[in-house]
């Protein structure tokens, strides 16, 4: 049995290759892929062979083959149907952190069923929403809080959309790009510029991955407030304005990262529990606003290059697979 998989084979070069598959064992599943998603930021770095050597182990995907910078089979947003496996999974749609591939065999514990009322393409957002769930477990928003989310990309939009379900006094999303207004409108969010954002926040979640955004987040935080840092800077070392009133206002700057379950829930939740929480949240149709276009699997090398070069803007770009792959 064979499958087709997408590989990054050189800087700016992708290729679809044949991949042999072993039959699934007693604790494994065979999944036929329905769709996969391109996570633009990370996969652009992989496509360009631009992942710094010092962070390559941190960026390794769960079912990656090959080593960064490449040749490498990379990706982690996949939804498919279980064709073989335990009775409770056979025939069900599942989400898995697997690269772009038409079929694959993984441990049954590596897939999570998609709720019946969550469309397959929206379920691809589970990776981003899981990151947002973890961030909110870290942040611990409370009744009547004033919260700002700085940066309306995939992660910032996921965090802010989840926050609309909390009984907050104020929620603003801060971004310098006026073209984000349409996305904010579709998600029901108040979009403001750094200059017009309201301060004295109880919690600020920073997702812009920029030095200026971090400075804005610290400025918007009220006395003894917390800034939760979700941005990933790679090998960059952004300057943080920790002078002036940072100490006098007793601010907290806290890192949040999806690799481990938030300490606030770690004793009672597993990573699978967290992913199920994200998939349940994706029953909200507003998340469809984060899906920004579709392409066929056969065109993936050209699509990846267009996204990495900026010719094709994307938040989460959907890859469709043939019905009988």
Contact 125, 290 (CB under 8 A): yes
Q: Is 325's pLDDT higher than 70?
A: no
Domains of the chain from N-terminus onward: 2-125+282-320 (3.90.180.10), 128-255 (3.40.50.720)
| pLDDT tens track for 126-148 | 999 999 999 999 999 999 999 99
The Cα–Cα gap between 282 and 102 comes to: 24
Q: Using H for helix, E for strand and C for coil, what is the string for 244-255?
A: CCCCCCCCEEEE
Nearest Cα residue to 100 out of 12, 28, 37, 154: 37
The C-alpha angle with vertex 103 and arms to 7 and 46, in degrees rounded to 5, equals 25
Better-predicted residue by pLDDT, 197 or 59: 197
pLDDT digits (tens, 9 = 90+) for 254-268: 999 888 999 999 999
Q: Tell whether the model's pLDDT for residue 120 goes beyond 60.
A: yes
Cα distances (Å, whole numbers) of residue 134 to 88, 166, 222 = 28, 15, 23
Q: What pTM value is reported for the model?
A: 0.93
**Packed helices 300-309 and 40-47: angle between N→C axes, nearest 10 degrees:** 100
For residue 191, pLDDT beyond 90: yes
The predicted-structure confidence for 41-94, as pLDDT tens digits, reads as follows 889 989 999 888 888 998 899 999 999 999 999 999 999 999 999 999 999 999
As to burial, measured by CB atoms within 10 angstroms (0-12 exposed, 13-18 middle, 19+ buried), residue 240 is middle
Predicted confidence band of residue 313 (pLDDT cuts 50, 70, 90)? confident
């Amino acid at each position: 049995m064979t499958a087709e998989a997408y590989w990054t084979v050189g800087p700016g070069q992708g290729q679809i290759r044949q991949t042999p598959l072993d039959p699934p064992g007693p604790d494994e599943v065979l999944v036929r892929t329905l769709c996969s998603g391109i996570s633009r930021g990370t996969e652009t770095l992989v496509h360009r062979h631009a992942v710094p050597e010092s962070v390559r182990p941190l960026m390794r995907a769960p079912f990656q083959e090959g080593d960064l910078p490449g040749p490498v089979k990379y990706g982690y947003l996949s939804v498919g149907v279980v064709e073989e496996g335990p009775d409770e999974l056979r025939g069900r749609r599942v989400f898995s952190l697997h690269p772009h591939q038409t079929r694959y065999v993984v441990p049954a514990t590596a897939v999570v069923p998609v709720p019946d009322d969550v469309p397959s393409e929206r379920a691809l957002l589970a990776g981003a929403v899981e990151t947002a769930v973890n961030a909110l477990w870290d942040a611990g928003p409370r009744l009547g809080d004033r919260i700002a989310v700085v940066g309306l990309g995939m992660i910032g939009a996921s965090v802010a959309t989840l926050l609309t379900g909390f009984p907050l006094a104020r929620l603003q999303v801060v971004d310098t790009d006026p073209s984000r207004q349409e996305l904010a409108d579709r998600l029901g969010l108040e979009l403001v510029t750094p200059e017009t954002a309201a301060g004295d926040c109880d919690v600020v979640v920073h997702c812009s991955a920029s030095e200026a955004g971090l400075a804005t987040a610290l400025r918007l935080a009220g006395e003894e407030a917390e800034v939760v840092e979700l941005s990933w800077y790679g090998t960059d070392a952004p300057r943080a304005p920790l002078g002036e009133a940072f100490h006098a206002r007793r601010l907290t700057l806290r890192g949040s990262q999806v690799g481990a379950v938030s300490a606030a829930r770690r004793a009672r939740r597993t990573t699978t529990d967290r992913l199920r929480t994200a998939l349940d949240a994706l029953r909200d149709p507003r998340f469809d606003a984060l899906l920004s276009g579709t392409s066929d699997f056969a065109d993936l090398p050209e699509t990846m290059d267009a996204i990495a070069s900026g010719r094709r803007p994307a938040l989460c770009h959907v890859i469709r697979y043939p019905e009988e792959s």
